[in-house]
Amino acid sequence: MIPRYTPTDFTELWSDDRKYQGWFDVELAACRAMETAGIVPRGTADQVAPFRDKLETATIDEIEKETRHDVIAFLTHVEKLAGAPARWLHRGMTSSDVLDTAMALRMTEALDRIIERGDKLVAAFAVRVREHRSTPAIGRSHGIHAEPVTFGLILAGHMAEIHRAVAQLKATRPTIAVGKIAGAVGTYAHLTPAIEKEALNALGLEPETVSTQVVCRDRYAQYFAALAQFAAAIERFSTNVRHWQRTELTEAEEAFHKGQKGSSAMPHKRNPVLSENLCGLARIVRAAVTPALENVALWHERDISHSSVERMIGPDATATTAFMADRCTKLIEGLVVYPENLLTILNRTGGLWASEGILLALVGTGMGRQDAYVLVQRNAMKAFHGEGDFQTLLCADADITAKIPTETIASQFDLNHALAHTSTIIDRALALAGQA
Amino acid sequence: MIPRYTPTDFTELWSDDRKYQGWFDVELAACRAMETAGIVPRGTADQVAPFRDKLETATIDEIEKETRHDVIAFLTHVEKLAGAPARWLHRGMTSSDVLDTAMALRMTEALDRIIERGDKLVAAFAVRVREHRSTPAIGRSHGIHAEPVTFGLILAGHMAEIHRAVAQLKATRPTIAVGKIAGAVGTYAHLTPAIEKEALNALGLEPETVSTQVVCRDRYAQYFAALAQFAAAIERFSTNVRHWQRTELTEAEEAFHKGQKGSSAMPHKRNPVLSENLCGLARIVRAAVTPALENVALWHERDISHSSVERMIGPDATATTAFMADRCTKLIEGLVVYPENLLTILNRTGGLWASEGILLALVGTGMGRQDAYVLVQRNAMKAFHGEGDFQTLLCADADITAKIPTETIASQFDLNHALAHTSTIIDRALALAGQA
Amino acid sequence: MIPRYTPTDFTELWSDDRKYQGWFDVELAACRAMETAGIVPRGTADQVAPFRDKLETATIDEIEKETRHDVIAFLTHVEKLAGAPARWLHRGMTSSDVLDTAMALRMTEALDRIIERGDKLVAAFAVRVREHRSTPAIGRSHGIHAEPVTFGLILAGHMAEIHRAVAQLKATRPTIAVGKIAGAVGTYAHLTPAIEKEALNALGLEPETVSTQVVCRDRYAQYFAALAQFAAAIERFSTNVRHWQRTELTEAEEAFHKGQKGSSAMPHKRNPVLSENLCGLARIVRAAVTPALENVALWHERDISHSSVERMIGPDATATTAFMADRCTKLIEGLVVYPENLLTILNRTGGLWASEGILLALVGTGMGRQDAYVLVQRNAMKAFHGEGDFQTLLCADADITAKIPTETIASQFDLNHALAHTSTIIDRALALAGQA
Amino acid sequence: MIPRYTPTDFTELWSDDRKYQGWFDVELAACRAMETAGIVPRGTADQVAPFRDKLETATIDEIEKETRHDVIAFLTHVEKLAGAPARWLHRGMTSSDVLDTAMALRMTEALDRIIERGDKLVAAFAVRVREHRSTPAIGRSHGIHAEPVTFGLILAGHMAEIHRAVAQLKATRPTIAVGKIAGAVGTYAHLTPAIEKEALNALGLEPETVSTQVVCRDRYAQYFAALAQFAAAIERFSTNVRHWQRTELTEAEEAFHKGQKGSSAMPHKRNPVLSENLCGLARIVRAAVTPALENVALWHERDISHSSVERMIGPDATATTAFMADRCTKLIEGLVVYPENLLTILNRTGGLWASEGILLALVGTGMGRQDAYVLVQRNAMKAFHGEGDFQTLLCADADITAKIPTETIASQFDLNHALAHTSTIIDRALALAGQA
């Protein structure tokens, strides 16, 4: 988590201050549930509660240097602050009850913030999808011109993919919103399932089905995989922006800010640096998936090998994903689209994109597909090598006009025909994304 | 996909024969839908259908050497077999319509077979969970004895984790059961959404929301992540089997087959080789996640870089996961559990596991937690270093007996007390896994 | 390792027949060394040797089903074939002595075959580097035109990177050419270091410094990382081929074979499918690195978790890398370069690439860099937006001509000036790659 | 890079202050070389040099908000500080000349600091290797007792592996100590190879063979792979410490500090938390390898997607590796070894480890290996199941004593015999690690 790629709310979320407040919240929720259960004196939590604002991160860290145990350091500090009532805290609990439950709170909050951004990103796409619903563009496979699409259709594809990723993030929420107040090895030896349930529900969480000393780490693995899927969806869009902005295409480009300099040496350069940056960041988020999976197989009731991993990938992957969502939202909102360039490029091959239509028209007369392929190919190759306009060449090929009239040929070069269904697809995508 | 780790049904599923049959099925489903739409003569599919059994993989491969295009080679072969009616096949379609839809059929079938195995695995766990519901065992964190659990509780934790992974596999099914018959760049330029829907539904699939030339690869990424989560759940269990079978523990061990030799040099060795193998295979399945994510960002309407990756990780990861499920089922079914060893080891530390209870009892008298900690620790350390039985030491410590009576001390050493809630947890897990 | 991506020599290398021959070779080399040491009767190996050609893979596999131990099955088979003398085989050895040493033989042979291909690939690049040493092309950063390069210089960069990767493969050879004949836990309890050394050296290997039961797996991790580096170097080149072949550029393209069909729907398409395929395969090779690293931390003197991983990634990653080298060699050899298109595209921005030269000329007069930047930028932006030729615009800007004469401006548009040092760089690269 | 896992020298190395100082150093080295070349006035660098200490990170960051280009912001700041002479800086250079060269300086310094730590770590191991050269311990495969080793031998194996990793780090140094001052697309359009060479050599670097706009990223990929290999070597050692410290073994344990608390609930617990932490951190370092490999295939002369990745994994992976080296050094230095426990455990199976020796003795009489195996196994299994002492059982088995005398049996139970070669291996390892 470096400042450059961290939204301010994530700086705050992953701060040590917030960490200790989270621990405090968990201890208090547990304490209140124990009051209900009658094993802690009524009113204890209320007596301790006001000291939440008095927690001093630096002091706790200082104590930890002595105890070499973070939760014990925290409790020592709280006891110093709140006095006798604080002695009732943490009763029958193990450190992981606090750590894992507080981590669940932060991971869930991080997820919620990412989901909120994801929803905004989808909505931002929807605006541009509608705007360019009918803007013709050439579709490409293998980087080679294929057949026409609309720019709105392209964006709709990205919107649909990002929307699926957001849906997956939402599906992951109940998996990660799970805490644990079940004691040393998850047996409630000095607690009860009822205490856990009351405490966790008060925090908006559910209990782990079967705790070990910790919440099971398959939950985290699923979470990071969902982040990586979201990042990959952004990566695909960003990759295409980079293509569109190439000098030879300039079909679309990133908004360029006044005062921004593209190059220290070449004053005219406008580089797709946001998109390239997003592609790089996708690698970072993706890189969290494998260690998260490696974290699953803890030994027996737990070992602590997962902890260092999560201390790093937890903040890094969530903050980076949130940053990507913000940046991608700006990117799509500000994307400068050049319809005239899109059209010029679409026409660049002199209508070669119509070749399939001609092929099908020939096959429709009963000609064998392979024979038709040969007929079309010989004209296509001439056009491709600049030996004439494709439509003209076709109309001059007697073998072809013997089969299909020139009007049929002409109809295959009609963009409206080629794009007849694109609006249907776009509407389907908008509806599915809740943007209809 | 190597024979050693491939269940026979996956050898069949990923065979070339099955591949071409799948292509054939897709072409026919599309053809029938085009008959409905009136753009292909009624009865065409019926005329071609009987030739499904006549497909010759070797012949297609031979043709491909010439055409260097697999789908064209396939269609050429089918046309040779079925004659004129076959010319109506593939009308308005692009290769990816066939490839991706047929791939969806296989990926979905692979998933279904893994899910079926996953369900069996969960059921196999449930049997052993119930069997060892009340078998006491020591819980361990950091490899160090902590407090008592039951062996059934441990197994219930693994069952719950595997069940979550199976649930995730099931949640992934609609994501992958998606095909595409939308033509070159997904615009239905020579097709219609209705044709696609009819054809795909006949095959048990749904249409891609917005196709490019292909089905979007985020769907695959999610699929492989779900496989890896399942593999990780098995890895955690296998890791623990390896621990239990250590010479110093022998708490449980893999079933050992008559005739099996553990070592070519040491005749007595019985090694947890199945569990170790499962840990290795989990690495293989996990290794598919990153390339699947890298496959998402195809260029424009598609490039074919994903294809080679999927040709390898598709069969490899699914077959390996299925193999893992089978092997893990045998492992849990045959697991030889030694309750007497579990108990001996539980008692090994002379009751040190009761220390937390003593600590809490002292705190319950109003003593500060840190003071109580010191009192308990000095006796625990003596016991730990073999200077006496923990319970005896406590009862001989005047500072302790001044606070709590020996009966209270004794009650903390009662296993029934420590394990009072384990059955509740187990029942909760069995219910959630549909095994109550 | 699927047939599509496996060179025939790798099919043979990783066959079971070769595996058992390798085991046989190791047993015999060890036997001969034990004859030298006097612990096995002289002539034993000679008596057994002729049966190498009689090994039957199917029979061994059959026996393994009973013994569930592959080396014991192998030895049983050999004893059946060769009778009494075969009883002297494997004396004091453990299975891993055979397995790991034989694996080292195969991994080393695989490496040698890849290195040989790597050398050929570098040589193939050198030919094209020399051919296009002076072919002007536009250099691009961020996909945007920057300043001129030559096509030979671009290829020289790829050659140098691939050459570094081959050098790294060569540097890895001594790391992997390491076997182990040291008994159960590497102590030579029933062997001697001298026996091991004699046996291994006869096989072209060196002994592991400190064996556990196995050769240490950091050696394998380094090996797979070197493969991935080589694959990444090919991936970078392939990515650029894909760019060059884009419809809008056609600066270069893959050789297209007669009869090859680029698309089943669009007859004119010529797709960079080899390059895309190479990009996909690079993901596969890269995916072997992490499991190889995960394999390092075996428990105590060994566990067998690495074995299943290596059974899959060993053949897969080596065969795929070799296939990539072969395919990339064909790709560079057959690459069709279009110098005229390269030049047309270079000129496309009307000389904007000269902007840095103008900037420097202005700075050279003592003008502040930021001031000069502004002057150049206002003309560059006009040219960029099609409002005139850059050189003409500059000559018409009084603020500029007040500082530098039009001849100086003209000299900055001279390609010979811009490319003055490219031959020096190319010669440096050819020399370093041993291709001068 | 989080404070918890970052050595202070790495906090400093990766600080923004150091970054800008590095840029300054590169600009000045280049300036001096241009003075030599006569294209910048003599004395310019000397005039600018004093302002190195005046660089203000916050001011540069402020300017960057306007320019959105870091190097331009930096140069603007320097020009404000140093006035007119600073205008000569960066002449003919591109941003990457500064960025990549300065990054090479930091990556090389980071490497040197890690290598220095690696050397210390190897030396720390050597001390303990010598100390426990002859301390008997049981060797284990699959977690099951195998044959005797010495604890020093085990440590020697770890030392040798770590030493190999350090050697690999050293081998990587020339690969990463490579800068680039070659202008926009690496052509020296406004520079010369001689200027680059003089400037880089002054900084302790060599020029990239063929630059694009940047230094090629295969160099970085190799670097991160070497870090991961080092981390994996530490991970294997740490995994074994975790095993040794298990309650049932206590063969060795981490030094436990006064005041340290192992558990907030169980006062007696001493957990191998450093080792577990090291295992987790190895996952973090390993996770940098794949994105580093993904960074290689930049588009054309460069895109900037690698930059964000390196901003994160550069500091993270180097600092974490350095931290791991420090922590592992303390771990091995402080490791508390319990020779008596090692011996007790070695004897735990009643001498079953001698089974192979008995087997070989029987085979030495001419008995078939499989027959001998059966004879030994029946006694081994009895001993394994607690039906008697292995040696006694063997001596009571008439089929065995008919073949080998009881003295021969006894000799196989002699530890000196089993460990005869361990000192040789250890000396070999010490010599190779430069610790003889």
Per-residue pLDDT tens digits for D270-318: 899 999 999 999 999 999 999 999 999 999 999 999 999 999 999 999 9
Residues in chain D with CB shorter than 8 Å from the CB of B359 are 265, 267
Residue A377 lies in a domain: yes
Give how far Cα A151 sits from Cα of A158, A241, A341, B144, Å: 11, 12, 12, 61
Average pLDDT in the C391-400 region? 94
Find, in chain A, the residue whose alpha carbon is nearest to that of D91.
A265
Clarify whether residues C46 and C179 are in a common domain. Answer: no
Is A295's CB within 8 Å of D277's CB?
Answer: no
Residues in chain D with CB shorter than 8 Å from the CB of A314 are none
Which partners does chain B have (≥3 C-beta pairs < 8 Å)?
A, C, D
Q: What is the pLDDT of residue A413?
A: 94
Q: Evaluate if residue C259 carries a pLDDT over 80.
A: no
Q: What is the pLDDT of residue D361?
A: 92
**Least confident residue range of C129-138, C370-379, D179-188:** C370-379
Q: What is the pLDDT of residue D261?
A: 64
Question: Given B76, B139, B289, which is nearest A370 (Cβ)?
Answer: B76
Of A425, A322, A262, which is closest to residue A12 (Cα–Cα)?
A322
Q: How confident is the model at residue D264 (pLDDT cuts 50, 70, 90)?
A: low
DSSP state at residue A300: T
Is B142's CB within 8 Å of D273's CB?
Answer: yes
**Least confident residue range of A415-429, D94-108, D221-235, D353-367:** D353-367
Is C282's CB within 8 Å of D297's CB?
Answer: yes
Residues in chain B with CB shorter than 8 Å from the CB of D345 are 248
Is C356's CB within 8 Å of A246's CB?
Answer: no
Clarify whether residues A249 and A101 are in a common domain. Answer: yes
Which partners does chain D have (≥3 C-beta pairs < 8 Å)?
A, B, C
Integer Cα distance of D12 and B85 in angstroms: 75
Which partners does chain A have (≥3 C-beta pairs < 8 Å)?
B, C, D
Q: How far is C284 from chain D (nearest CA, A)?
A: 12
Find, in chain C, the residue whose alpha carbon is nearest to that of D229.
C218
Average pLDDT in the C401-426 region? 95
Integer Cα distance of C155 and C332 in angstroms: 9
Q: Residues with Cβ < 8 Å from B433, sequence gap 6 or more?
A: B122, B125, B126, B159, B160, B163
Clarify whether residues C200 and C333 are in a common domain. Answer: yes
Q: How many structural domains comprise chain B?
A: 3
Is D188's CB within 8 Å of C87's CB?
Answer: no
| Residues C183-192 as b or e (16 or more Cβ within 10 Å = b) | bbbbbbbbbb
Clarify whether residues C250 and C362 are in a common domain. Answer: no
Residue D302 lies in a domain: yes
Find, in chain B, the residue whose alpha carbon is nearest to that of D277.
B142
Q: What is the pLDDT of residue B263?
A: 65
Residues in chain D with CB shorter than 8 Å from the CB of B269 are 141-142, 144, 146
The answer to whether residue B263 is catalytic is yes
Clarify whether residues C270 and C310 are in a common domain. Answer: yes
Question: Given B157, B221, B303, which is nearest A232 (Cβ)?
Answer: B221
Is A183's CB within 8 Å of D288's CB?
Answer: no
Average pLDDT in the D176-190 region? 96
Clarify whether residues D128 and D175 are in a common domain. Answer: yes
Q: How far is D95 from chain A (nearest CA, A)?
A: 6
Q: What is the pLDDT of residue C363?
A: 85
Residue B347 lies in a domain: no
Number of neighbours of residue B317 by Cβ within 10 angstroms:
27
Q: How far is A262 from chain C (nearest CA, A)?
A: 10
Question: Given C67, C276, C311, which is nearest B2 (Cβ)?
Answer: C311
Clarify whether residues C399 and C302 are in a common domain. Answer: no
Question: Given B188, B190, B279, which is nearest A357 (Cβ)?
Answer: B190
- What is the rounded average pLDDT for all residues in chain B? 95
Clarify whether residues B221 and B210 are in a common domain. Answer: yes
Residues in chain C with CB shorter than 8 Å from the CB of A383 are 268
* Best D276, D278, D289, D330 residue to mutate vs chain A (most A CBs within 10 Å): D276
Clarify whether residues C214 and C356 are in a common domain. Answer: no
Number of helices (H), then strands (E), in chain C:
20, 6
Strands (DSSP E) contained in C128-251 are 136-141, 144-150, 178-179, 206-207
Is B269's CB within 8 Å of D356's CB?
Answer: no
Among the candidates A57, A75, A91, a domain finishes at A91
Q: Are C75 and C62 in contact (CB under 8 A)?
A: no
Structural domain of residue D382, as residue ranges?
352-412
Active site residues of D: 142, 263
Integer Cα distance of A199 and A29 in angstroms: 5
Average pLDDT in the B318-324 region? 98
Clarify whether residues A20 and A60 are in a common domain. Answer: yes
Is C380's CB within 8 Å of A267's CB?
Answer: yes
**Which listed residue (B15, B69, B190, B263) is catalytic?**
B263
Percentage of chain B modeled with pLDDT above 90: 87
**Least confident residue range of A216-225, B255-264, D45-54:** B255-264
Among the candidates A29, A59, A91, a domain finishes at A91
Q: How far is A329 from chain C (nearest CA, A)?
A: 21
Residue D424 lies in a domain: no
Place of tokens 């290797």: D129
Q: How far is C286 from chain A (nearest CA, A)?
A: 13
Active site residues of C: 142, 263
Q: How far is D18 from chain C (nearest CA, A)?
A: 25
Q: What is the pLDDT of residue B239?
A: 98
Average pLDDT in the B162-169 region? 98
Q: Evaluate if residue C263 carries a pLDDT over 70.
A: no
Average pLDDT in the D387-416 region? 94
Average pLDDT in the C310-329 region? 98
Q: What is the pLDDT of residue C264?
A: 61
Per-residue pLDDT tens digits for C266-304: 767 889 999 999 999 999 999 999 999 999 999 999 999
Is B236's CB within 8 Å of A298's CB?
Answer: yes
Integer Cα distance of A59 and A57 in angstroms: 5
Find, in chain A, the residue whose alpha carbon is nearest to that of C360.
A265
Among the candidates D287, D310, D342, a domain finishes at D342
Helix (H), strand (E) at residue A406:
helix A406-412
Chain A residues whose C-beta sits inside 8 Å of any chain C C-beta: 140-147, 242-243, 245-249, 261-263, 265-273, 276, 290, 294, 345, 348-349, 352-353, 355-356, 359, 373, 376-377, 380-381, 383-384
| Residues B193-221 as b or e (16 or more Cβ within 10 Å = b) | eebbebbbeebebbbbbbbbbbbbbbbbb
- For the domain that residue B2 is a member of, what is the CATH number? 1.10.275.10
Question: Given B92, B156, B218, which is nearest A360 (Cβ)?
Answer: B92
- At B252 the three-state DSSP class reads strand
Clarify whether residues D115 and D132 are in a common domain. Answer: yes
Find, in chain C, the residue whose alpha carbon is nearest to that of A354.
C266
Q: What is the pLDDT of residue C270?
A: 87
Q: Would you write out chain A's pLDDT as a tens digit for each of its 436 residues?
A: 899 999 999 999 999 999 999 999 999 999 999 999 999 999 999 999 999 999 999 999 999 998 888 998 999 999 999 999 998 999 999 999 999 999 999 999 999 999 999 999 999 999 999 999 999 999 999 999 999 999 999 999 999 999 999 999 999 999 999 999 999 999 999 999 999 999 999 999 999 999 999 999 999 999 999 999 999 999 999 999 999 999 999 999 999 876 666 666 676 788 999 999 999 999 999 999 999 999 999 999 999 999 999 999 999 999 999 999 999 999 999 999 999 999 999 998 889 999 989 988 998 898 887 889 899 989 988 888 888 889 999 999 999 999 999 999 999 999 999 999 999 999 999 999 999 9
Question: Given B142, B269, B345, which is nearest D248 (Cβ)?
Answer: B345
Strands (DSSP E) contained in A104-176 are 136-141, 144-150
Is A262's CB within 8 Å of C383's CB?
Answer: no
Q: What is the pLDDT of residue A47?
A: 98
**Which listed residue (A263, A305, A308, A417) is catalytic?**
A263
Q: Evaluate if residue B250 carries a pLDDT over 70.
A: yes
- For the domain that residue A373 is a member of, what is the CATH number? 1.10.40.30
Question: Given A144, A271, A384, which is nearest C144 (Cβ)?
Answer: A271
> Tell me, what amino acid is at D201?
N
Is B139's CB within 8 Å of A193's CB?
Answer: no
- For the domain that residue B328 is a member of, what is the CATH number? 1.20.200.10
pTM of the entire predicted model? 0.97
Find, in chain C, the residue whose alpha carbon is nearest to that of B283.
C291
Clarify whether residues B17 and B161 are in a common domain. Answer: no
Q: What is the pLDDT of residue C349?
A: 86
Give how far Cα B154 sits from Cα of A207, B135, B139, C344, Å: 17, 10, 9, 71
Is B287's CB within 8 Å of C288's CB?
Answer: yes
